[in-house]
Structure 1
């Protein structure tokens, strides 16, 4: 009898939980019913979750509600839906979800996860400061050109031997953001610098793995389970200590009249606002924002360049046609500059298509409703996670003629001229779009053109050995690593 009574009580509690779960959906966009505690997680492929969301949207529409564990989530699918939310109704969608993984890494400070006044002040300051130091301008172009020469020299030193270019590319791209933030570059043999790049790579890989997804959904549980996340979080403290050391070095030699880089400008602002109780310029925000810039400015662009090299090997005809255009416009002697892009429509189209096809952040960084809002007639309450599915925009069949294939013609008109497409959103869109977009665009163009200007790329196993499907696919699409051969052009 006791067992029977316990079973009935358990059944009643589960039914109550279920009814509460269903009740919470009132007024929300449609979506599949989920399970208590787990929500809709059993219906989502942990290896390629964005594909599951696309499949569900075919039944429930472009605005749908899911529950990832207990977290109420509204998913936005397709170009028109994402544009309407992030651009046309942008003020309602400026909130950023406090991803537990990143909260732990940054201790909740900095520009990446901030909201409200903190976000407004830090974003405005960061954009202004980085532009003052040349982001998107000639000064930054010269830094990237100089760094590309270091990269080319290292490739020449390989004498055609097969290599994994991952860390070389990370060094080159990271040195650009290091110049902006720390006021200096690092040698490719610097052991401490290489250790930091390895930590950043492991951090991004963890975030893109099923374990990283589990941490963001059930942080309280995952914290208590064994796994490599504990090692990665310990390594993140090494990155924090590095940043703290650089900030202290800046303090020791700080001259407010002659700011040298981003850290100096932030220290100057701290000094100017030290008497304001409401200031957002204090040490914790400085450390976390520098970490945001250092990590984001290293991994995404270097991974995209690495993926582009794999594409060139997989499609040698694309590489050859780009080199023909490079030879005709620039030649082999002078350095590439951003003005050249206007005369190189095919090269520009290929670089855009690499970004579209890679789809490096398929979910974007999740947004968050900071108040009750209405969208397309649905009532979306405060504290709802919003996923603008960038994957669904970059692969939208209504916007791209051949969305599932690599096709530079997506960015070329019938006369071979470059054409823009509003559905090209690898940097997201609206008010929370990536602050480093102009820098990333410049890096991709200058580095990739410089590489093809001086080298032809191949694989020891031939084009068929190159797999363009990502190694990890969730928070980020991380390209597979391949050995390549960089053969100097004659």
Structure 2
């Protein structure tokens, strides 16, 4: 008992901002003093898993890994407990599915049993007050709006107007790097501004200047959501935390970030309704057309549209910028890969003509380098949560209806039965001669019907930015590269690193 209290006390002192950034210190102490009463939960044919701590479930286990390392938790669970394991997010049992074969079985072959989302958790309810959105919707609430979101994003990203915006943002990015003489990752930096400007233009039709206060507010909202862990962080899952002095402010900041972002987008909806002239130029326009055709449907209410657009920002903007930086980090650490990509870009685009969407399919080495970066880093290392629609059996274990279930994406990307030497950076694994191939275990945007709706947008933006940066610069560093990154409950952002930028001639 004393040892448990000592561990908790040390953790409180050194990691006061772990996962919640406000800390869960009081609850850690409570959990420690109740250690002898904790149980492993489940029983019978329930999957194995770590100790269930009172009130906080498995969040304490994550926190003890260190402030920036909670992403190590899921590989540890896979290694210790196998392909089907049970953890607890607060009071909620969560099934973690690891390994490509198990993931395919659960989310593809038994898709009808795992296609729903757990909209019942407190964090989701707290941020979905004006509408359900698409990400956490199920059944009819998801089917129509989800299909519309996917098709409208694909239409917009393939438009000349969007390509022009992205090209201009890339030019600003290149100019900024030229002046700075280096690339580095920091919240609210040039890369994030470029990505968010493009994303906001795609979903609302409005392009914000980098000096616009609205863009600064958006960046603050997104940083708060990322920093505090989103709807599946301890703050959002454990109701008691909102009432405690250490965590109450952090909880209000998290919910306030969602509310502020949704309010901004709801204002965009209302403004666009007054000015829409009948030619769809953004995701918002497509939703307004559907609203006009189905005025009685709650699926296309102003609030539901605003929440859907918010999800396009929160689920899309951070990983895109992070992927670009990670790709530069790996290109810097592997000069031969960087050179091969640059030679390919020079052959297809020359050294001065801007890279175009139509060039991407002609750049297999660039694409392979990005795909290998996505595989090796796996920025979103667990999927958005699913929920079982019925009682089901998974590899001999019984899973009750309405159980939260995660696809452990990183486990598929590190699966030694699917990849040779998976810990190594080897873009050639995505190449078949001069063509790009996609191994079945590659799933950076998830798998099955609930695969990320914005995957087409994200891939094009990353490819364009990465290829354009390699066309303009050669990257180098005398420092050792940090490949571990900064972990959150669901994502891995790049470390704060500086890389030298040299203009190519």
- Are the aligned partners of 2:71 and 2:492 in contact in 1 as well (CA < 8 Å)? no
Deviation, 1:373, is 2.6
| In 2, Cα distance between equivalents of 1:375 and 1:284 | 38
Change (3 A) 1:129 1:58: closer
User: Match for residue 177 of structure 2?
Assistant: 155
| In 2, Cα distance between equivalents of 1:18 and 1:294 | 39
| In 2, Cα distance between equivalents of 1:323 and 1:240 | 41
- Partner residue of 2:460 out of 423, 442, 454: 442
| In 1, Cα distance between equivalents of 2:81 and 2:207 | 50
- Partner residue of 1:226 out of 240, 243, 246: 246
CA displacement 1:186-225 (0-9 Å, x = unmatched)? 22222321231132123212217xx973224313334534
Change (3 A) 1:480 1:100: farther
- Are the aligned partners of 1:315 and 1:463 in contact in 2 as well (CA < 8 Å)? no
Structure 1 segments (4+ residues) deviating >6 Å? none
| In 1, Cα distance between equivalents of 2:499 and 2:383 | 30
The farther-off stretch of 137-146 and 190-199 is 137-146
Mapping of 1:235-254 within 5 angstroms?
Answer: 235-254=257-276
| In 1, Cα distance between equivalents of 2:268 and 2:435 | 46
Question: Rg larger in 1 or in 2?
Answer: 1
User: Match for residue 301 of structure 1?
Assistant: 320
Q: Aligned residue pairs: how many?
A: 464
The farther-off stretch of 57-66 and 33-42 is 33-42
CA displacement 1:31-80 (0-9 Å, x = unmatched)? 45645545455555554445444334445331122334321221111000
| In 2, Cα distance between equivalents of 1:188 and 1:396 | 41
Do structure 1's residue 178 and structure 2's residue 200 form an aligned pair?
yes
- Are the aligned partners of 1:94 and 1:367 in contact in 2 as well (CA < 8 Å)? yes
- Partner residue of 2:226 out of 189, 195, 204: 204
TM-score (norm 2): 0.83
Do structure 1's residue 329 and structure 2's residue 348 form an aligned pair?
yes
User: Match for residue 348 of structure 1?
Assistant: 367
Instruction: Specify every segment of 5 or more residues in structure 1 that has no aligned partner in the other structure, as ranges.
Output: 1-13
Instruction: Specify every segment of 5 or more residues in structure 2 that has no aligned partner in the other structure, as ranges.
Output: 1-33
User: Match for residue 5 of structure 1?
Assistant: none
TM-score (norm 1): 0.85
Mapping of 1:94-109 within 5 angstroms?
Answer: 94-98=115-119, 100-107=122-129, 109=132
- Are the aligned partners of 1:74 and 1:386 in contact in 2 as well (CA < 8 Å)? yes
- Partner residue of 2:92 out of 59, 67, 71: 71
- Partner residue of 1:273 out of 294, 313, 317: 294
Deviation, 1:230, is 2.5
- Are the aligned partners of 2:185 and 2:325 in contact in 1 as well (CA < 8 Å)? no
Change (3 A) 1:482 1:105: farther
CA displacement 1:212-267 (0-9 Å, x = unmatched)? 73224313334534343433433443323321222221122134x33342223322
- Partner residue of 1:375 out of 394, 408, 412: 394
Change (3 A) 1:223 1:488: farther
User: Match for residue 312 of structure 1?
Assistant: 331
Mapping of 1:121-136 within 5 angstroms?
Answer: 121-133=144-156, 135-136=157-158
CA displacement 1:3-38 (0-9 Å, x = unmatched)? xxxxxxxxxxx99x879x75x433433445645545
SS, match of residue 501 in structure 2: strand
User: Match for residue 26 of structure 2?
Assistant: none
User: Match for residue 111 of structure 1?
Assistant: 134
SS, match of residue 74 in structure 1: strand
Deviation, 1:180, is 1.9
| In 1, Cα distance between equivalents of 2:210 and 2:387 | 40
| In 1, Cα distance between equivalents of 2:306 and 2:318 | 18
- Are the aligned partners of 1:101 and 1:207 in contact in 2 as well (CA < 8 Å)? no
- Are the aligned partners of 1:122 and 1:280 in contact in 2 as well (CA < 8 Å)? yes
CA displacement 1:107-161 (0-9 Å, x = unmatched)? 362111111211112101212222333x3566644443343233223334x1636
- Are the aligned partners of 1:50 and 1:363 in contact in 2 as well (CA < 8 Å)? no
User: Match for residue 423 of structure 1?
Assistant: 441
